[in-house]
């Protein structure tokens, strides 16, 4: 990704986010629908994070989990639930688009991975993926996409598991984020 006019450290590379200085609030259709602030674009091997002190997304030296586990969607947070590094709800989005850090997507919540540490990962789809599904539920994803999502967290420990749309939406509607 070309980076210009930005001061870089040896380990981090800033990514221009001048058009993303502000993020939207909750989607009017929340919790079924949400605005997603893209943090991790598809195909990026390094972890991207929002750095509020400089108002930019920063490429770190850390490897991106989604990339390492062959997730082809994008990753970010649900707008209106908080902004990193403060508590917020994380979301993996299945989409055919190739948005960049700071872009905003409209998506439909279809499930979640309930983590034992409380840092749950929601799963959402954009409209073109939703059109391929019988319903807006994790278990109605096309088989290949479902396998892709499930392999992002292949080990399911005590108190963890994959939940469908109903449970994910109830969680979003009734619980504030508690994890950064």
pLDDT of residue 44: 97
> Which secondary structure element, helix H or strand E, spans residue 105, and what is its range?
strand 104-114
Average pLDDT, the chain: 89
What are 146-159's pLDDT values in tens digits? Answer: 999 999 999 999 99
Please list the residues that pair with 162 across neighbouring strands. Answer: 113
Peptide linkage before 85 cis (omega within 30 of 0): yes
If one counts every other C-beta atom within 10 angstroms of the C-beta of residue 127, the result is 12
If one counts every other C-beta atom within 10 angstroms of the C-beta of residue 16, the result is 17
CA distance 77 to 25: 11
CA distance 100 to 59: 12
pLDDT of residue 18: 40
Given a cut of 70, whether residue 6 has pLDDT beyond it is no
Structural contact between residues 66 and 92, judged by C-beta atoms closer than 8 angstroms: yes
Q: How many CA atoms lie within 13 A of 66 on its CB side?
A: 23
Q: What is the pTM of this model?
A: 0.88
How buried is residue 101: exposed, middle or buried, by Cβ count under 10 Å (0-12/13-18/19+)?
Answer: buried
Structure tokens at 86: 């403060």
What are 84-138's pLDDT values in tens digits? Answer: 999 999 999 999 999 999 999 999 999 999 999 999 999 999 999 999 999 999 9
Report how many helices (DSSP H) and strands (DSSP E) the chain contains, helices first: 4, 9
């Amino acid at each position: 990704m070309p980076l210009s006019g930005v001061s870089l450290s040896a380990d981090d590379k800033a990514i221009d986010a001048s058009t993303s200085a502000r993020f939207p609030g909750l989607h009017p259709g929340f919790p079924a629908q949400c605005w997603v602030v893209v943090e991790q674009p598809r195909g990026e091997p390094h972890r991207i994070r929002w750095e509020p002190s400089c108002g930019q997304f920063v490429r770190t030296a850390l490897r991106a989990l989604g990339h390492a586990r062959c997730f082809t969607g994008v990753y970010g947070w649900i707008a209106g639930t908080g902004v990193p590094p403060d508590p917020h709800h994380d979301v993996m989005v299945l989409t055919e688009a190739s948005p960049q850090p700071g872009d905003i997507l409209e998506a439909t919540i279809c499930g979640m991975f309930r983590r034992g540490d409380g840092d749950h990962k929601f799963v959402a789809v954009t409209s073109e993926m939703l059109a391929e599904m019988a319903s807006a539920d994790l278990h109605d994803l096309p088989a290949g996409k479902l396998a892709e999502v499930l392999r992002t967290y292949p080990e399911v420990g005590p108190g963890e598991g994959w939940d469908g749309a109903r449970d994910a939406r109830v969680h979003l509607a009734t619980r504030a984020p508690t994890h950064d």
